[in-house]
Amino acid sequence: SYDQLAGLHHTVSVLKLPPYVDFAAFGPHAIRTLRKLKLTGLVMNPSGQLHRTELVGPMNFDQWEACFNVFRTACVMLGVASYAALDAYKDHIKSYACTYSNETWTLLYQADTRARREQAQRIRRNSSKFSEEAKVVDSDGITYDPSMPWEYVFRKLPKDFAFWKKEFESAAILITANINRADFAVAGEVPVA
């Protein structure tokens, strides 16, 4: 929607922040989601008490992919990154979703959110050592173009093995092997449906 594009443009171009969007509110059917946002807040439970509710993120990879595809299209329209760079990131998440059990989805979504929200900013800051005038190829063979820094970030994120091991792989292996429960490693910052 226009609102989604305007919000992402403002975040990246004006505020100079990472192109992060929350998939609980950003995805397909933006008008429907906007309606849900207006109805979110205090809801009466069966005993008549008011309790706070919030929107939740995608409940599986298929829903995540639908949201990501809207995000990807918006990024390409705004010149943030190319389809190829964004598809490399999507394929990385898909490989984890296919490799590990459904029990690890919440953990994977948490890692994805942290990657797009926090790690992307770290990678962008570290890329400031590159020339702001010419394209540079880093040690992983990824080209940094100063005119499209987020392109570099989305190509670099899947190759940040230490980040993914810490945020997802180590805990996912223990969950899949039934050594730990899924909620043991999930901080609860990104609830899913």
Q: What is the pLDDT of residues 105-142, one digit of tens each?
A: 999 999 999 999 999 999 999 887 877 777 888 888 88
The DSSP secondary-structure symbol of 178 reads T
Whether pTM exceeds 0.95: no
What values do phi and psi take at 45, rounded to 5? Answer: -90, 175
Q: For 72-93, what is the mean pLDDT? A: 97
Side-chain-side CA neighbours of residue 73 (13 Å): 12
What is the pLDDT, as a whole number, of residue 52?
63
CB 155 within 8 A of CB 88: yes
Residue 71 and residue 68: Cα distance in Å, rounded?
Answer: 5
Instruction: Pick the closest to residue 156 from 185, 136, 132, 134 (CA basis).
Output: 136
What is the pLDDT, as a whole number, of residue 193?
63
For residue 180, what are the contacts with CB-CB under 8 A and spacing of at least 6? 171, 174
What is the pLDDT, as a whole number, of residue 158?
97
Instruction: Pick the closest to residue 192 from 111, 119, 121 (CA basis).
Output: 111
What is the pLDDT, as a whole number, of residue 156?
96
Q: For 8-24, what is the mean pLDDT? A: 91
- Confidence band for 38, pLDDT divided at 50, 70 and 90: very low
- Confidence band for 39, pLDDT divided at 50, 70 and 90: very low
Residue 77 and residue 66: Cα distance in Å, rounded?
Answer: 17
Of 155 and 4, the one with more pLDDT: 155
Give the type of residue at 157. Answer: L
What is the pLDDT, as a whole number, of residue 135?
84
- Confidence band for 54, pLDDT divided at 50, 70 and 90: low
